[in-house]
Chains A and B, each alone.
Chain A
Amino acid sequence: MPQSHIMPGFRPALGFTLFYLALIVLIPLSAMLLKTLQLSLDQFWDILTNRRVLTSFKVSFGAALIAAAVAAVLGSVIAWCLVRYLFPGKKIFDALIDLPFALPTAVAGIVLATIYEPKGWIGKWVMEAIGVQIAYKPLGIVFALIFIGLPFVVRTIEPVLQEFDSAMEEAAASLGANRWQAFINIILPNILPAAITGFALAFARGVGEYGSVIFIAGNMPYVSEIVPLLIITKLEQYDYAGATAIGLIMLILSFVLLLSINGLQWWMRRRNGQL
């Protein structure tokens, strides 16, 4: 259906939208770009190749990558169970999935630290059973980011599974496929784009996450210091240039991730439309 040209209010609505977008988002973000441009290329390079900075990038990216992968697997299983099986309390579990969206990150941070610290409920048990310390180590960061990433994966896969036509499974079975073959050949190819999108969303969020991580991370420079914390540390030391340079890299990364996620979602929609 062609869009109607007779709807009123186009100019004021678009005008206000652009004005507010510029005021709150675009101008402040370009301020950061301008600040970085004041640095010479050498200065910029020095800041980024500093060993502490490099390590923090490694920690942030590594932890976010591992956490997103774990969340993608666990989240897929949860989405599968929520859509396909019936079990007591399913509705409540389903609603709880969004808790990491709704729970303020500071609360998540102190709670996760309390549970997984060496003396905490789970932390103590894991320590005694297999001798692994979770909190105040990079592993703690991974745990916090799994918490953060889980709902992204579940909520991306769930609708795809719901719309998935199980007649395709029946068709596969009628052609002689066993359950495992049906899963590998029919179900997996259909939910894979959603799982990858969920993974990317969890990763993007994880790289920039601050509140839920800093309490459990231990924040040891060169070991468990994440990039967002390093930015704050630099700010507190009035090293605006350093903070900005690191921030710009993070911002560019967000942009790239956002565009690739948009691409992924477009790909997903197209696939679903075709199938």
Chain B
Amino acid sequence: MSAMNPSFSHRAKPLTLNDSAWVRYTLILISLLTIGLFLILPLATVLIAAFAKGWSTYSSSLAEPDALAAMRLTLLTAAITVPLTTVFGVSAAWAIARFEFKGKNLLITLIDLPFSVSPVIAGLIYVLIFGAQGWLGPWLSDHDIKIIFAVPGIVLATLFVTFPFVARELIPLMQEIGHEEEEAALSLGASGWQTFFKITVPNIKWGLLYGVLLCNARAMGEFGAVSVVSGHIRGLTNTLPLHVEVSYNEYDFVGAFASASLLAGLAVVTLVVKTFLEWKQKQDLKAARQAAAE
């Protein structure tokens, strides 16, 4: 990687190989302006708007029963969806990265599909199945089971949008690590599960945590898909992002931004941990490659 310090580059490299000073400063200026306008300013705005009327208004709007209910529902949704998506991701990665079979590429494409489907469609498909006019609607209402405009619908929609998160982190990682250590463990008499927990998991742990982290961020922050299936019932089926919307549309800006600040905090924590995990995983892979090269 050739990172060059603007102030020294004239000596470090001949001019023909380096961009002239005005090119460098113009490009850096464009970058910083873009990052400032689109990334930093929005982040700052959340905090400023949330505390526009002081700390006490901020904290009391978070202590409102509806806000608390939204937080609880968001945590519950994440607590259900993240483990399921993780188990799915691990088993998909095991099947795809460790075995050859027909239709593997199609399977990988299908796993990626929820990424490119509009979140609104993710909600719509469950309404078509479980909604009052859906396929199973009459049967469900006969048996007094509520899925749409209730928590199960929210969980299902979240499962859909978080579907690829863990799998697509693990598949390339496990392919890169290879299966030699697992073979070694099997040759020493370890069972399949022993091999998985004692060898595979320690080797993929940073990548796994990375996938879980991003999955969690999406599960807690999903808006479009959840919005379609939730019905926006205050205190019952509003997740935190939906609570932000409802408050905002009711001109309760402090309330909206107070809830938004929690989600923004979650995003920042996610970014920090993500950067750390990326660093860790890079180190691990580097060590592995060195070991293989020697």
Question: Is A in direct contact with B (CB under 8 Å) within the complex?
Answer: yes
Looking at A44-52, A97-105, A189-197, the stretch in contact with chain B turns out to be A97-105
Q: Is the CB of A258 within 8 A of B112?
A: yes
Docked-complex contact B116 and A204, CB < 8 angstroms: yes
Q: How far is the CA of A84 from the CA of B41 in the complex (A)?
A: 25
Q: In the bound complex, do residue A103 and residue B267 qualify as a contact, i.e. CB atoms below 8 Å apart?
A: yes
B275, A83: Cβ atoms under 8 Å?
no
Q: Which residue of A35, A166, A251 contacts B2 across the interface (Cβ within 8 Å)?
A: A166
Q: A140: which B residues are within 8 A, CB to CB?
A: none
Contact of B35 among A6, A93, A146, A247 (CB under 8 A): A93
Q: Which of B241-265 contact A (CB under 8 A)?
A: 241-242, 244-245, 248, 256-257, 260, 263-264
Establish whether residues A231 and B124, one from each chain, have CB atoms under 8 Å apart when the complex forms: yes
> Is A25 a contact partner of B260 (Cβ separation < 8 A)?
no
**In the complex, are the beta carbons of B271 and A98 less than 8 A apart?**
yes
State whether the Cβ of B3 lies closer than 8 Å to any Cβ in chain A: yes
**A4 CB-CB contact with B under 8 Å:** yes
- Contact A235 to B160, CB < 8 A, known contacts A178-B16, A208-B119: no
User: Residue B235 at the A interface, CB < 8 A?
Assistant: no
Could you tell me the distance between the alpha carbons of A247 and B221 in the complex, rounded to whole angstroms? 23
Q: How far is the CB of B38 from chain A (nearest CB, A)?
A: 5
User: How far in angstroms is the closest Cβ of chain A from B280?
Assistant: 14
- Other-chain contact of A17, B95, B186, B245 (Cβ < 8 Å): B95
Are B95's CB and A14's CB within 8 A?
Answer: yes
Interfacial chain B residues near A7, Cβ < 8 Å: 98-99, 179, 182-183, 186
Please determine whether B274 and A98 come into contact, CB atoms closer than 8 angstroms. yes
Known contacts A115-B42, A235-B228; is A21 also within 8 Å of B100 by CB? no
Q: Are B241 and A31 in contact (CB under 8 A)?
A: no
Interface of B is mostly: helix
Roughly how many angstroms separate A170 CA and B120 CA in the complex, as a whole number? 50
| A interface residues, how many (CB within 8 angstroms) | 97
Known contacts A77-B31, A173-B17; is-contact A102 B121 (Cβ 8 Å): no
Once the chains are docked, how many angstroms separate the CA of A20 from the CA of B159? 10
- Nearest-neighbour CB distance to chain B for A78, whole angstroms, equals 4
Say yes or no: A3 contacts B98, CB within 8 Å.
yes
Mask of A150-194 contacts with B, CB within 8 angstroms, 1/0:
100000000000100010011001000011000000000000000
Within 8 A of A (CB), among B1-52: 1-6, 14-20, 24, 27-28, 30-32, 34-35, 37-43, 45-46, 49
Confirm or deny: A37 has a beta carbon within 8 angstroms of a beta carbon on chain B: no
Contact of A273 with B by CB under 8 A: no
Cβ-neighbour of B40 out of A82, A96, A228 (below 8 A): A96
A residues near B95, Cβ cutoff 8 Å? 10, 13-14, 17
Q: A13-B91, A121-B41 are in contact. Are A107 and B124 (CB under 8 A)?
A: no
Q: Which of B111, B124, B182 has the most CB of A within 10 A?
A: B124
Interface size on B, residues (CB 8 A): 107
Whether, in the assembled complex, B152 has its beta carbon less than 8 Å from a beta carbon of chain A, the answer is no
Contact with B along A17-45 (1 / 0, CB 8 A): 11011001111110110010000000000
The docked-state distance in angstroms from the alpha carbon of A87 to that of B28 is 8
CB-defined contacts of A262 to chain B, threshold 8 Å: 109
The answer to the question of A61 belonging to the interface, with a C-beta cut-off of 8 Å to chain B, is no
Residues of A within 8 A of B126 (CB): 28
* A57: interface (CB < 8 Å): no
* A264 in contact (CB, < 8 A): no
Check if B120 sits within 8 Å of A102, measured CB to CB: no
Smallest CB gap from A95: residue in B: B275
Among B116, B263, B264, the most chain A Cβ lie within 10 Å of the Cβ of B116
Residues of A near B91 (CB, < 8 A) are 12-14, 16-17
Q: Are A107 and B260 in contact (CB under 8 A)?
A: yes
Closest to A257 in B: B116
Q: Is B128 touching A31 in the complex (CB atoms < 8 A)?
A: yes
Given A21-B111, A210-B224, A254-B116, check contact A104 B24 (CB 8 Å).
no
Residues of A51-90 at the interface with B, using a CB-CB cut-off of 8 Å, are: 74, 77-78, 80-87
B107 at the interface (CB under 8 A from A): yes
Given A4-B183, A208-B117, 6 new contacts (CB under 8 A):
A18-B107, A93-B32, A102-B270, A107-B221, A170-B17, A231-B120
Q: Closest 3 CB pairs between A and B?
A: A208-B118, A104-B221, A8-B192
Of the A-B pairs whose beta carbons lie under 8 Å apart in the complex, a sample of 27, sorted by A's number, is A1-B178, A7-B99, A25-B163, A29-B125, A31-B125, A31-B128, A74-B31, A85-B27, A86-B4, A86-B5, A98-B274, A103-B42, A106-B223, A107-B263, A107-B264, A112-B42, A147-B38, A150-B34, A179-B17, A210-B223, A211-B224, A228-B118, A231-B124, A247-B121, A255-B113, A258-B112, A262-B109
